[in-house]
Amino acid sequence: MWRLLQLMLGHPLRSLTFIYSFTTQVALILLKAVLLPHMPRYQSIRIQIHRAYWASSSTFFPALIHRLPVTGCAERRARRIGSGWKAYVIPGTRRIGEIAGKPGACAIIYAHGGGYARGEARMYLNYMERWQAKASRLGLEMTFVSVEYPLTDVTPHPAQQNSFLETYRYVLEQGVPPSQVLFMGDSAGGGCCLLSSMELQSLGLPKPAAGILLSPWFDMSLKFFEGGHAFVETDYIITANEGVPIFAKRWIGDLDGSSPQVNPLFRETTEFQELPPQLMLVGGGDFVLPECHELARRFNEAGLHYS
């Protein structure tokens, strides 16, 4: 709450539009519930109001929900590594090579979301630390290596994928076996994980133990956006119909959205067969849900173990 007040006081005009957007959405939610009680509702009123807050925040104060930019982060929490590429080891006190051969220990190479245009490697630091604390209580040890790939205002594809793969090479060079490595990413980062995994064989790199895809965004053909994507009614990203095509174009550059270089759905079935097991998590109201169904179909065709 204090962070919100600071941002609003520093940007009075933007604050007015934020307040207008949020209160108008809440008013419409409540009016619909009162005046049209017989109309079907996909989400509870609580979730709808929560979505209205997040949608307004992400539109007018993205720094609020993403905690960006990350400042004042001690090295003991996140330590920078890399030469010619950049990533952060979390926690910063841990040396990656220490986990090699250690029972219950793994290195998770993470790619953040943000449409390849926003975000940074430490934006989910608080989440990662909570996951690590939970794993520790279960007798497990998680070390995150979060990739600081270049955003599309600097360079388009394949720079992001190259940064991810360089990070993986580094982890392997520290003596960590691929059986102790996982690929993980959310949204665009999930797409980056998937495409990077599909490049491993051609590069002569071993595949990791598994991949974890959190609401992955990867279908650059944007076929579900033709005529407008219906899931903007339930997704937190209320500007997806306008914003996602822009993010996609900035990332793919001159490539076609159905090119296998940028769209895994157009890869050969044999390439899916070379993937490690995948865990894919996606919300029922997420705009990437339809393309994730398509991806699951490709997984099934290849006989890939996934859930």
Per-domain residue ranges of the chain: 1-66, 79-302
Q: What angle do CA 115, 119, 120 make, to 5 degrees?
A: 130
Those residues with Cβ within 8 angstroms of residue 30's Cβ, 6 or more apart along the chain or in another chain? 45
Superfamily of domain 79-302: Alpha/Beta hydrolase fold, catalytic domain (3.40.50.1820)
Residue 214's beta-bridge partner residues?
Answer: 186, 281
pLDDT band at 66 (very low <50, low <70, confident <90, very high): low
Is the pLDDT higher at 252 or at 62?
Answer: 252
Give tens-digit pLDDT for 46-64. Answer: 999 998 998 888 888 877 7
The reported pLDDT for the residue numbered 1 is 64
Give tens-digit pLDDT for 254-285. Answer: 999 999 999 999 999 999 999 999 999 999 99
pLDDT at residue 9 greater than cutoff 90 = no
**How confident is the prediction for the chain on average, in pLDDT?**
94
Q: Are 92 and 77 in contact (CB under 8 A)?
A: yes
Question: How many residues belong to the chain?
Answer: 307
The reported pLDDT for the residue numbered 11 is 82
Among 38-47, 85-94, 97-106, the least confident range: 38-47
Give tens-digit pLDDT for 99-147. Answer: 999 999 999 999 999 999 999 999 999 999 999 999 999 999 999 999 9
Question: What is the DSSP code (8-state) at residue 39?
Answer: S
